[in-house]
Amino acid sequence: MTEPTLIFHNPRCSKSRQTLALLQERGIEPEIIRYLDTPPSEQELTVLLRQLGLAARALLRKGEAAYKELGLDDQTLPEQTLIGAMVKAPILIERPIVIHNNRAVLGRPPEQVLDLF
């Protein structure tokens, strides 16, 4: 049995909406995780980063007010601190993220998620 396809989605984000539409146009109906409403735990985010093959800093939205407020531009902060900040302020998590068969891709650009299929 294959795992369901998941999308970490923010309906207010155009890239997130474009990625979801792209999947649906191809007959893929992902399970939608509205991560701002139900943020991932530290453990889930750690697994997600491993699936993406990214360090936590690469998944941070540096333009968000919370990024400056929390002092996340400090390059000496450890990975766990950055992950903890994203759990507490999920707006900091870059989106959309699509997960399929234990692999994940950031939908920037949206077409990038097609590499999973």
Q: Check pLDDT > 70 for residue 34.
A: yes
Backbone dihedral region for residue 71 (phi beyond 0: left; psi -120 to 50: alpha; all else: beta): left
Reported as a single tens digit per residue, the pLDDT across 47-89 is 999 999 999 999 999 999 999 999 999 999 999 999 999 999 9
> Residue 2: what pLDDT?
66
Percent of all residues in the chain with a pLDDT value above 90, rounded to a whole number: 97
Residues 6+ apart with CB under 8 A from 54: 106
d(CA 47, CA 53): 10
For the chain, give every domain's residue range.
Answer: 6-116
CATH class of 6-116: alpha beta
At residue 1 the predicted structure's pLDDT band, cuts being 50, 70 and 90, is low
- Whether this prediction's pTM lies above 0.85 is answered by yes
Residue 48 has a CB neighbour count (10 Å cut-off) of 21
- Known catalytic residues are 13
> Residue 107: what pLDDT?
96
